[in-house]
Amino acid sequence: MQLDHVLLRTFIAAVDAMSFTRAASAVHKSPATVSTQIARLEAQIGRPLFIRDTRNLSLTRAGEELEAYARRILRLHDEAVEAFRRPEMAGRVRIGAPEDYISVLLPPVLRRFGLLFPRVEIEMACAQSTALLPKIASGALDLAIVTRSPGVGGQLIRRERMVWICSRERIALERRPLPVALFEPGSQARSVVLAALARGNVPFRLAYESVSQLALLTLVEAGLAVAAITRMSAPDTVMQLGAADGLPEVDPLDVALVRGPGSDNPVCDAMAEAVCESSAALSGAQDPSAAP
């Protein structure tokens, strides 16, 4: 038995979208073609891959098993294509991001980039957006993934929802005025949270503030405050809240890739492309509506 990588790519698109219609858009085919290709793959495997009904699409046990293999096969296929399509590069790229973006957005970028360009040296800076932007302007960094604030340009790579979180025991949520943990003054995340609290006429007190998301999460998990953070960085150890809990909707954050004055070179171009591709893939896997 041979597995056609074209069929596997269609299969993964259907898994990510959980819809043949949305998958068709992702792979630039008609829904009928997607359905036909899935049927061909099921014939090769000898078992159904999806459970279909009029409204929902879900994976069978065989589909779940194939998904892991398919993702590995396609990743290796794409890496091989890239390795032979591009000349071998050497040099250095300096990239920075806040800790939540580093932990979620950058691992797949660095893993793939390191395999494709092993001779490129990567320097990483972890800091809040307000500290990274001056480094970009001065040329101390080549690239930075930052939260857009007024006056900040760069390439929009995703729009990220903000979610309220509290401890699983909901201790802080019951207190009045509401204890809120905020990011550092000047940050866009702080601005949108304060604006939401004002719109919702929510009585609150500033309980804690920090440049570190890890510190905010620690405070929230301890039941000392509630906070609003990006959805992609909300861990399973906290409870996500919403309007039913009396909390106002917070405007989303625009995440941008900004480049320094010395970044006009093939090494930085390759890293920028890898960041954009990884962000698009993450948006599609989590929620198609989250993509910019």
- In this structure, are residues 194 and 182 in contact, taking their beta carbons and an 8 Å threshold? yes
Structurally, the chain folds into a number of domains equal to 3
Average pLDDT over residues 154-164: 92
CATH code, domain carrying 34: 1.10.10.10
Q: DSSP string of 89-126?
A: --EEEEEEE-HHHHHHHHHHHHHHHHHH-TTEEEEEEE
> In this structure, which long-range contacts are made by residues 12-17, counting pairs with CB atoms below 8 Å and at least 24 apart in sequence?
12/67, 12/70, 12/71, 12/74, 14/38, 14/50, 14/57, 15/59, 15/63, 15/67, 16/284, 16/285, 17/284, 17/288
Return the pLDDT at 54. 64
Residue found under tokens 């989590």: 286
What percentage of the chain's residues is helix, strand, coil (to nearest 5)? Answer: 50, 20, 30
Average pLDDT over residues 270-276: 90
Same domain, 152 and 168: no
Which of 62, 85, 108 is a domain's end point?
Answer: 85
Same domain, 197 and 73: no
Average pLDDT over residues 89-108: 90
Average pLDDT over residues 57-73: 91
Question: Is pLDDT larger for residue 2 or for residue 133?
Answer: 133
Q: How far apart are CA 13 and CA 25, in angstroms?
A: 9
Return the pLDDT at 86. 64
Structural domain containing residue 142: 91-156+254-290
pTM across the whole model: 0.68
Q: What is the pLDDT of residues 6-39, one digit of tens each?
A: 999 999 989 988 888 888 877 888 889 999 999 9
Which residues pair with residue 122 across a beta bridge? 93
